[in-house]
Each structure stands twice: as C-alpha cells, then as structure tokens.
Structure 1
Amino acid sequence: MEPESKAPDDSFNWAGDLELIRSAAREAGRIALGFFGQEPEVWWKNEGRSPVSAADYAANQVLEAHLRPARPSYGWLSEETDDDPARLSCETLFVVDPIDGTRAFIAGKQTWCISVAVVHKGAPVAGVLVAPALNEEFTAWIDGPAMRNGETITVSNPDARQHLKVASAQDMVARFSPALRPRIERVAHVPSLAYRLALVADGRLDATLVLPNSHDWDLAAADLILTRAGGRLTDLDGEALIYNRKSVTHEELCAASGAVWPELVKGLTRISRS
C-alpha cells in the first residue's frame, strides 16, 4: 500500500536528521571528489541507457555506512542500491542519489552533487545537496530556511515584463502558450536535475521543466530546498509529489519561483492536453 502525503510529525527531530545527512553527504562528496577527473571505471545499466561509475558506488557505500546504523528504523531508497519493498512499510526513510549528474561527473564537468533527503509519510522533511567541485552546499529542513553555504536563499521574483530564465528541452519550450513563449529565455542544459532545482531555489533560474521518468532520488532533497526557498515543484496538474510509492518515477514536472509557477503550469497543462 502506498503512503499518503501527510503533514510532518512535530515529535521528530528533523533538524537533527539534517545535521546527520549533511555530515554524511559531505563525506560522500569528499570521497567522490577523489575520483573526479581521474577517469573512474564506468558501467552501463538500464539496458545501456544510464552510466554508473566507481565513484557512485563508493559514495553510496559511505552514505549507507553513516546513515543506516544511525537510524536503523528508517527505510532506504538509493539509485545505487537494489530496491527493497520493505521501504514501503516505513514511515520514514532516507532517499539518496550518491552522485546526481553522473554523466557530467564522467565528462569532467563540475555540475554534479550528492543528494540526500529524509522523507516522512511521503514528504521530504530534511534535505541536503553537496556539490564539492563547485564548493556549494544547499540545505533545508521542514521548519527552517533554505540555505546555500550557510546563507538563506530565496527564489526569484520577476515581474510580468521580464524574461524568464528556464532550463528545459527545446521541444518543451515550444509547448508554452503563445502569449508566454516570447518571455522564455532558454538556458543551457544543466545535467544534474537536483542541482538544476537548486538553481531555481537560489534565483539563478526562474524555472525548469522536467521530462518524464525522473526519480525520487533525483528530486526529494531539492524539492524541499526549493519549497523552503519559496518555490514549487509539481506535476502539470499542479499536484505536489508524493515520495516512497511503489513506483518511484514521475511524469513531466514544473519547478519554478512561486511568482511565476501558476502562469507556467497553466500554459503547459493547456498545451500538453491539446
């Protein structure tokens, strides 16, 4: 049975969990950085569609070693660990992407990060993104601000006359309403989805559109960071995401500053249903 998204339980120490996952993510980032630019061994999974490197596995091992013994009652969902259906019976679990942006990592690009979230009753309650090659760290917990390197961040607040910096595939831009399309300034692709969402959270992007088949581990930590910064991540019906379902994949999504999210989703929903 899939969990319903519910309000977080105030009796839990989510701030303490944030400190735990931040410490683990920093150590995993340190380990991964040791492989960066060193041509680590690479394998292909999902019928040859997705690369995974020795650095991904090493970072995953670090995260498991730090987190699972510290919270033995929590479930576990990681891109680089075989899925265990037992997680569905857990109210709380870790959701982990040891390296989000593996293709960028392998190519020697700096836009990759370690993504770790705590999810409770279907919603993220603590999240951290560590991008060691960029010396950036994003954090949030359910009752605290979104932060980058210890400073509070907020989403952009463009007015109706400004261009909107949107990260998306070209064909998705073409699906905006004709009235909105001239305002869209498409930016270069950012390989790490989690890092791309963080760029919306700190105002460097106004929005990003997400193609189908993203996963819980790509999204959970960044979703919370974006939300606490004043943004929204939803499907094209405007619904918030629910995590720790039997299926961990998602349909098309829109992440944006709260100021522009309603207009973007309205335009995209109308086009996608035509």
Structure 2
Amino acid sequence: MSDSQKAGRLSDVDLIVEAALEAGRIALGFFRQSPEVWWKNGGLSPVSAADFAANESLAAILRSARPGYGWLSEETDDDADRLSHQTVFVVDPIDGTRGFLAGSDLWCVSVAVVTDGRPVAGVLYAPSLDELFVATAGGEASKNGKPIHVSQRLGDDPHRLATGEDMLTGFDPDFRKTVERVKHIPSLAYRLAMVADGRLEATLVKRNSHDWDLAAADLILERAGGALVDLSGNALRYNRAEVSHDELCGAPASQLPEFLRQLSHRRDS
C-alpha cells in the first residue's frame, strides 16, 4: 500500500496531525539557520524558504489523501474553486513567521478541516516547544495528549491579556487597572492556544487576521471552554470569498460578555 493510500485511510484528525508533524519537522530544519526570505503584501510580510517547504509537504500529504476537499493556505495562490467545496483544508505552514525568523520558539504549524464554514478538526504544532494541540468538533481539546481548559479567574487575580496597548483605549478605567498585558506573542494561533490552555485569560485581535491564522485555534479554544468571536459576539465563518476578519476577542466563554462590554466602550469612545 502506498503512503497516499495509507493516509487516505486515516480519519481527518489523524491525517492533519500526521501532516502537521511532518511539516513541523521540515520547518524545524530551517529554524535558526538563516533561511532565504522574500517579502509579500507590498513588502509588509516576510515569507521564507521554510514556509514554502512546509507548505509543499502539507499540500502533498493532505491533497493526495483528500482530493475532494478544497484548499486554502497562506502560501498558496488562492483559488476560488475552494468556495464550491463543502469541506476545505485551511492551512498556515508557519504561523508567526516573523518570530520564526527572529529565533523565537513561539511559532506553529496550523491545520484545520472546515466544513460548512466552521472548523471540525484542528491541529497546532509548535515544533520548537514540542507542543501539539488537537481538537475535534464534539470532542475535547488536548495538549500533548492531555485535556486542556481555559482559565478560571479567581477573585482579584489580574486579567492576563495578549493585546496591543491601543486596543485597551476606552476601557473602563477601573477595569483597565485589572489588566496585565503580556509580552508580544508573534503567532496569533499560538496566542489563542495559550488562552485555550489557561496561560492567558484572553486575547484581543486587531483587524485583518485571516482564516489560516484562526481556524484551527478557534476550534481548540472552543473545545477548551472558550470562544473566538467578533465584537458583536458572533462566531466566525470560514471559507468565504473574503478570508480576512475584523477585530476579534478570544476568551473563556464565561468572561466573554465582560470583555465585549469593555470593547463596546472602546468603540463608542
């Protein structure tokens, strides 16, 4: 039996785990080795030889195993054909490329299976940290095989937030005093995973994040007891014609109303 036939027999979640692990192994071979770098989006965003190599590996494994699925990746030219597919792979071969190129450990491979606009299986693999986050719709979220849960803030504990200072503008002053901002985390997907496993209470996301940054982490956060929503409290939809998103909030479900209330103050200020 060929490798593609073996992959075709795997469940979707086992398939994307296998693909993410292999892509992570490939990317790790470039890490701190000064890979070649190009610039895209008008010179605003770096992309490296590691991104392309990991993307090629993901495409080879996933698309051969599920030829009937659509494909959306940060490092593949977008094809509107994906919109005709009920189920698509949504992939970021290296989320946090700037951090990767700077030698930070905080980057990951992000792979999701999205059906009817919502993720049904998601994997984040941080090779440099040896951390594997996995979730399926209806199942639990795990980190290295152990269940994870969002933070349960107690009493006067500070709100540990990952966000830009500008996103706190307009918060109620008393609430602002309870916020402890954490150091910048270059990977948005990994930041959401930190909310899922309770190291952060929440993250506020600036506009112009993309499906590939979010889809896998969205499901992992949801299955850990949290949610990623827009500032009106709506869950995100993926595999639309437009793959970018407005401002977002990811937090434990129990804390979301307060964060959204504070963010509404900000918008009204």
Percent of pairs with identical residues? 62
Residue 159 of structure 1 corresponds to 154
Residue 233 of structure 2 corresponds to 238
Residue 10 of structure 1 corresponds to none
Matched residues in 2 for 1:24 and 1:249: separation? 25
Instruction: Give the counterpart of 1:258 among 253, 258, 261.
Output: 253
Deviates more, 1:173-182 or 1:100-109: 173-182
Residue 27 of structure 2 corresponds to 32
Unaligned ranges ≥5, structure 2: 1-9
TM-score relative to the length of structure 1: 0.93
Q: Please state whether the residue corresponding to 1:34 is helix, strand or coil.
A: helix
Matched residues in 1 for 2:173 and 2:80: separation? 45
For the 8 Å contact 2:135–2:141, the answer to whether it is kept is yes
2:220 is the counterpart of 1:193? no
For the 8 Å contact 2:169–2:266, the answer to whether it is kept is no
Instruction: Give the counterpart of 1:212 among 207, 213, 225.
Output: 207
CA RMSD of aligned residues (A): 1.0
Q: Please state whether the residue corresponding to 2:58 is helix, strand or coil.
A: helix
Letter in 2 for 1:63: L
Q: Please state whether the residue corresponding to 1:155 is helix, strand or coil.
A: coil
Residue 109 of structure 1 corresponds to 104
CA apart distance, 1:259: 2.4
For the 8 Å contact 2:168–2:266, the answer to whether it is kept is no
Residue 143 of structure 2 corresponds to 148
Q: Please state whether the residue corresponding to 1:68 is helix, strand or coil.
A: helix
**Displaced runs of 4+ in structure 1, greater than 4 A?**
none
Residue 179 of structure 2 corresponds to 184
Instruction: Give the counterpart of 2:132 among 120, 129, 137.
Output: 137
Residue 170 of structure 1 corresponds to 165
CA apart distance, 1:116: 0.1
For the 8 Å contact 1:209–1:255, the answer to whether it is kept is yes
CA apart distance, 1:161: 2.4
Deviation string 1:22-56 (CA, Å, 9 cap, x unpaired) is 00000000000000010000000000000000000
For the 8 Å contact 2:142–2:148, the answer to whether it is kept is yes
For the 8 Å contact 1:176–1:264, the answer to whether it is kept is no
For the 8 Å contact 1:25–1:116, the answer to whether it is kept is yes
Unaligned ranges ≥5, structure 1: 1-14
Q: Please state whether the residue corresponding to 2:177 is helix, strand or coil.
A: helix
Residue 120 of structure 1 corresponds to 115
Letter in 1 for 2:96: G
Matched residues in 2 for 1:168 and 1:182: separation? 15
Residue 83 of structure 2 corresponds to 88
Q: Please state whether the residue corresponding to 1:209 is helix, strand or coil.
A: strand
Matched residues in 1 for 2:196 and 2:82: separation? 29
Q: Please state whether the residue corresponding to 1:116 is helix, strand or coil.
A: strand
2:198 is the counterpart of 1:203? yes
Letter in 1 for 2:215: A
For the 8 Å contact 1:206–1:257, the answer to whether it is kept is yes
CA apart distance, 1:257: 1.4
Residue 4 of structure 1 corresponds to none
CA apart distance, 1:160: 4.7
